[in-house]
């Protein structure tokens, strides 16, 4: 009997243990799902600037700190500074977390320096109707480089881009070299067929679905991506990054520069108001920051400076708007030359609008200046000339007159004038007026 009881107790203990294990497994399943490694997504658009470099470096650091499954960089760029691009490429290659460069949305492009960034990704993908390539080097103002410098730059870039494309096959390496040497570009379909990219995805969820189970090499170690159902977390720019990125837009930089110069000139013209000067100085400093980050043509700055010189001179020596018209033309030329680079897209309508508004403002000031010069004086000795006075004592030819509530000594130029007669002031000589009889 005792043996049977022992067996029953043992069976009960085993049953309890099984039930506990089942409960624990059920409780652990949601926790495991909740601790799935996230996929971070960054939105990188616009010219390559120090802000973009800082943002990407921060994103990679954040992905490594959070042990993310992958970091997706949604890219749309016309290119930019090659040195900054190399720093971005180095940061991507050195990442411990797989970095996915995804050219999106539809209509986006990874031009020039963007081609190197895309090829640097552990995974490269594009949305439909996007393009990549045209990575030929140009000068800071978009001009062709001198032959010797161009040859050196092309050789260096070819070596860099072919090294990045090497793991993607011979066709990708050949195309990458042509993208630098011949400015060759490719659509998303062409890039996929050449092996330049790994996937064409309509959106991030589609990309995650296609990447699931894909093998990548990170620091010579093969890593399998598990992205199906992975939680997606956006990693936006910080407020400071977003602000600095916004003011480095060429159109915003042009607006800030115009406001800044106008504010400073207004303060110099009317000292003591302070507000225009403070606002102008702040805007001008932000514009200088943007111009320092962007590749600009300083000839354009000279044209813009000339425009404001013409505006100011037209106020001091009015020429019926001729100098203001010249200033508007100079401003438009300067603004267009200032950002004459394939990496930047300056709005023609914005440039013309700013020029017309600025020219209109100065034309208004010029008109007011002319009106003031033509206006009859209301104070001082000049204001008395031409005024009408009443004779108080006979002018024979000297006597007194009553003018604007005051008694003045006066001398008649046209003979004796009886008291009560109206006379007109012709000149002021010290404290004596020279007058003539008022004609009806």
Using DSSP's 3-state secondary structure scheme, residue 388 falls into strand
Euclidean distance between the first and final Cα of the chain, in Å?
150
Report how far residue 369's alpha carbon sits from residue 363's, in angstroms, rounded to the nearest whole number. 10
CB atoms within 10 A of CB 256: 23
Contact 330, 338 (CB under 8 A): no
- Residue 328 Cα distances to 15, 259, 345, angstroms: 91, 15, 21
* Beta strand 109-111 pairing with 99-103: unpaired
Name the token pair of 48. Answer: 């390559």
Is 112 annotated in the active site?
yes
- Residue 296 Cα distances to 304, 343, 352, angstroms: 13, 11, 19
Indicate the DSSP class of residue 406: E
What is the arrangement of strands in the sheet containing 199-200, beginning at the earlier edge strand?
199-200, 123-126, 99-103, 70-76, 39-45, 232-234
Name the token pair of 176. Answer: 């990458």
The string of DSSP letters for 187-234 reads EHHHHHHHTS-SEE-SSHHHHHHHHTT-EEEETTEEEE---TTPPEEE
Determine which one of 6, 25, 29, 152 is catalytic. 152
The string of DSSP letters for 82-142 reads HHHHHHHHHHHHT-SS-EEEEE-STT-EEETHHHHHHHHSSEEEE-TT-EEE------TTS
Is 184 annotated in the active site?
no
Report how far residue 281's alpha carbon sits from residue 259's, in angstroms, rounded to the nearest whole number. 9
Contact 214, 121 (CB under 8 A): no
Determine which one of 95, 112, 131, 136 is catalytic. 112
Residue numbers annotated as active site: 112, 152
């Amino acid at each position: 009997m005792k043996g049977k009881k022992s067996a029953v107790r043992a069976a009960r203990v085993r049953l309890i243990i099984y039930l506990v294990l089942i409960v624990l497994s059920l409780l652990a399943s949601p926790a495991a799902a909740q601790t799935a490694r996230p996929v971070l997504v960054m939105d990188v658009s616009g010219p390559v600037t120090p802000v973009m470099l800082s943002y990407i470096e921060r994103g990679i650091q954040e992905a490594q700190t959070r042990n993310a499954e992958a970091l997706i960089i949604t890219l749309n760029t016309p290119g930019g500074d090659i040195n900054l691009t190399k720093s971005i490429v180095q940061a991507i290659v050195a990442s411990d977390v797989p970095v996915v460069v995804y050219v999106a949305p539809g209509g986006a492009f990874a031009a020039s320096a963007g081609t190197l960034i895309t090829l640097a990704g552990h995974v490269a993908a594009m949305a439909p109707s996007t393009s990549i390539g045209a990575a030929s080097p140009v000068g800071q103002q978009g001009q062709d480089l001198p032959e010797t410098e161009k040859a050196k730059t092309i050789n260096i870039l070819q070596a860099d881009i072919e090294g990045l494309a090497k793991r993607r096959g011979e066709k990708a390496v050949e195309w990458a070299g042509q993208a630098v040497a011949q400015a060759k570009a490719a659509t998303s379909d062409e890039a996929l067929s050449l092996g330049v990219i790994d996937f064409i995805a309509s959106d991030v969820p589609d990309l995650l679905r296609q990447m699931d189970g894909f093998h990548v090499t990170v620091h010579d170690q093969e890593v399998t991506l598990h992205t199906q159902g992975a939680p997606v977390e956006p990693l936006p720019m910080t407020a400071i990054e977003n602000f600095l990125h916004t003011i480095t837009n060429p159109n915003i930089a042009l607006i800030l520069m115009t406001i800044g110069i106008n504010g400073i000139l207004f303060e110099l013209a009317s000292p003591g108001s302070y507000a225009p000067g403070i606002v102008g100085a702040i805007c001008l400093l932000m514009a200088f920051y943007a111009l320092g980050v962007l590749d600009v043509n300083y000839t354009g700055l000279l044209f813009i400076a000339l425009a404001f010189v013409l505006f100011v001179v037209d106020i001091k020596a009015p020429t019926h708007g001729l100098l203001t018209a010249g200033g508007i033309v100079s401003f438009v030329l300067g603004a267009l030359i200032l950002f004459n680079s394939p990496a930047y897209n300056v709005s023609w309508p914005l440039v013309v609008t700013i020029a017309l508004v600025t020219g209109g403002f100065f034309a208004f000031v010029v008109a007011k200046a002319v009106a003031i010069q033509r206006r009859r004086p209301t104070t001082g000795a000049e204001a008395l000339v031409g005024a009408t006075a009443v004779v108080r004592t006979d002018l024979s030819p000297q006597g007194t007159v009553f003018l604007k509530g005051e008694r003045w000594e006066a001398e008649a130029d046209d003979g004796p004038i009886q008291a009560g007669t109206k006379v007109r002031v012709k000149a002021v000589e010290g404290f004596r007026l020279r007058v003539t009889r008022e004609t009806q």
